[in-house]
């Protein structure tokens, strides 16, 4: 049974929704059933998560309403499957279930499943309800909240997508018990991001609680998740479609997405790519005289403490990476826009950043930050 459940609201008028956080929530069908619209539920998950958690979720869902028609789609695991082909499988499953708009998709898994299932929900009959049940740390603190949904193309990550808010986010922190250590560490990159971009006190708290967090101590982990969700809920409520402030959540992402694509999806985890990307952005800021170099060192030290990489993988061509960065959604009229910072807790948008300065950071040449 769930204990010490916390609820955080994402305030978006008629589309507001709760983020419910607690251990054991998978067995508590109530928050999930409250969010279901219609007669059909399609649970989308993958071959790793299904054996661990599908039966519990399904039973909890079915317990309260035996008229609900529940279908299951189990996809292959991994970023390589966050594709239009997988979205087509979701559409086929909905068609097979004879679902119309009278249906809700439940995404059970990490960010790959959440982004993909959310994208399919945005498209099916021009938009149906969906619920996020994130099971990775990264998905709990970032991807499940805020309604960004997408699939990848060979040309780049998240190039096809939609803003489509979930009806609820249900975070069972107990699911983190089975998360591989490398995936947990990758999730902490996004946790550290919240401190780095806008909350120096949280950054300092992470420095103090790194050991407890890495040991998965429940209280520390739940505190960190709730803090990140609150910060993100506030930003999304103020800037749902990324006209301004929300772009700051992409600290490290322009570098990170390009590094992830250039090194081949799956070799760097998303969170690992973001860790490297944040250090590149911090180093670039220092090299451009916008931020103190000592803050880059503090960021690198914290990421390394969480076992995360902080330099681009060897063997990548910097100009290939820059070419991929130029595809980023934040760019305007062909001009590169990046999230840089003035130091810990102070991210900002920078337009027209000099390409030579970016190349220097990617190759490790130039001033040291
Ligand atoms: P993921 O979904 O691939 O999950 C990581 C691995 O952990 C997978 O192998 C998965 O099957 C496994 N797994 C999931 N839960 C588990 C559990 N409880 N126990 C054991 N194994 C488990 O990766 P991710 O890091 O969760 O998400 C990365 C994706 O999220 C990327 O595609 C990224 O673009 C996206 N993302 C989206 C947003 C957004 O705002 N929409 C934000 C950040 C990241
Ligand atoms: N992950 C960045 C955002 O949701 O805006």
Q: Over the chain, what is the mean pLDDT? A: 94
Distance CA 289, CA 297 (A): 15
All structural domains of the chain, each given as residue ranges with its CATH number in brackets, are: 6-178 (3.40.50.1970), 181-363 (1.20.1090.10)
Active-site entry in 79, 250, 272, 283? 250
Query: Which ligand lies nearest the alpha carbon of 178?
Result: 1
pLDDT band at 336; cut points 50, 70, 90:
confident
How many CA atoms lie within 13 Å of 246's alpha carbon, on the beta-carbon side? 20
Give 78-131 as a DSSP string: SGGG-SHHHHHHHHHHHHHTT--SSEEEEEEESHHHHHHHHHHHHHGGG--EEE
Which mutation among 10, 142, 235, 339 tests ligand 2's pocket best, with the greatest number of atoms within 8 A of CB? 142
**The predicted structure's pLDDT at residue 264:** 81
Cβ atoms 366, 287 nearer than 8 A: yes
**The predicted structure's pLDDT at residue 3:** 56
Q: Tell me if residue 257 is catalytic.
A: yes
Q: Which atom of ligand 2 is nearest to the CA of 146?
A: 4
pLDDT at 225 over 50: yes
In this structure, the strands spanning 3-10 and 17-23 are antiparallel
Query: Which ligand lies nearest the alpha carbon of 157?
Result: 1
What would the mean pLDDT of 77-98 be, rounded to a whole number?
97
- For residue 368, the CA-to-ligand 1 centroid distance in Å is 33
Q: Which residues line ligand 2 (CB under 6 A)?
A: 142, 146, 148, 246, 249-250
Percent of the chain with pLDDT strictly greater than 90? 86
Q: Determine which of 61-65, 78-82, 179-183, 271-275 has the lowest per-residue pLDDT on average.
A: 61-65
- For residue 248, the CA-to-ligand 2 centroid distance in Å is 9
Q: Tell me if residue 217 is catalytic.
A: no
pLDDT band at 366; cut points 50, 70, 90:
low
Active-site entry in 270, 283, 298, 337? 270
- Which of 90, 141, 146, 97 minimizes the C-alpha distance to 113? 90
CA dihedral 32, 36, 42, 45 (to 10 degrees): -30
**The predicted structure's pLDDT at residue 286:** 98
pLDDT at 209 over 70: yes
Active-site entry in 148, 167, 185, 283? 148
pLDDT band at 29; cut points 50, 70, 90:
confident
Cβ atoms 361, 355 nearer than 8 A: no
């Amino acid at each position: 049974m769930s204990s010490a459940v916390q609820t955080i609201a994402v305030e978006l008028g008629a589309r507001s929704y709760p983020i419910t956080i607690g251990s054991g929530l998978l067995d508590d069908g109530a928050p999930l059933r409250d969010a279901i619209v219609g007669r059909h539920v399609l649970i989308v998950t993958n071959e790793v998560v299904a054996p661990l958690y599908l039966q519990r979720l399904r039973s909890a869902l079915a317990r309260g309403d035996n008229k609900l028609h529940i279908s299951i789609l189990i996809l292959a695991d991994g970023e390589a499957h966050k594709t239009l082909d997988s979205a087509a499988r979701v559409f086929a499953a909905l068609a097979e279930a004879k679902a119309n708009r009278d249906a809700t998709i439940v995404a059970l898994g990490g960010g790959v499943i959440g982004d993909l299932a959310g994208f399919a929900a945005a498209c099916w009959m021009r938009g149906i309800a969906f619920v996020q049940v994130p099971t990775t740390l990264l998905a709990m603190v970032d991807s499940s909240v805020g309604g960004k949904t997408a699939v990848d193309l060979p040309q780049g990550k998240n190039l096809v997508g939609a803003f489509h808010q979930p009806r609820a986010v249900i975070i069972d922190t107990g699911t983190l018990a089975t998360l591989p250590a490398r995936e947990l560490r990758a999730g902490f990159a996004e946790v550290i991001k919240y401190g780095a971009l806008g909350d120096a006190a949280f950054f300092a708290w992470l420095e103090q609680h790194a050991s407890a967090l890495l040991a998965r101590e429940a209280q520390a982990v739940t505190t960190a998740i709730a803090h990140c969700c609150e910060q993100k809920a506030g930003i999304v409520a103020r800037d749902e479609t990324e006209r301004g402030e929300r772009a700051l959540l992409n600290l490290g992402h322009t570098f990170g997405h390009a590094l992830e694509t250039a090194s081949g999806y799956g070799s760097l985890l998303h969170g690992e790519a973001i860790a490297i990307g944040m250090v590149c952005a911090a180093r670039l800021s220092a090299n451009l005289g916008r931020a103190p170099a000592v803050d880059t060192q503090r960021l690198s030290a914290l990421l390394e403490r969480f076992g995360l990489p902080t330099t681009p993988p060897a063997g990548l061509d910097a100009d290939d990476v820059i070419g991929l960065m130029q595809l980023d959604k934040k760019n305007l009229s062909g001009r590169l826009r990046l999230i840089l910072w003035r130091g810990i807790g102070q991210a900002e948008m920078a337009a027209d950043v000099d390409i030579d300065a970016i190349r220097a950071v990617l190759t490790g040449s130039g001033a040291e930050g």
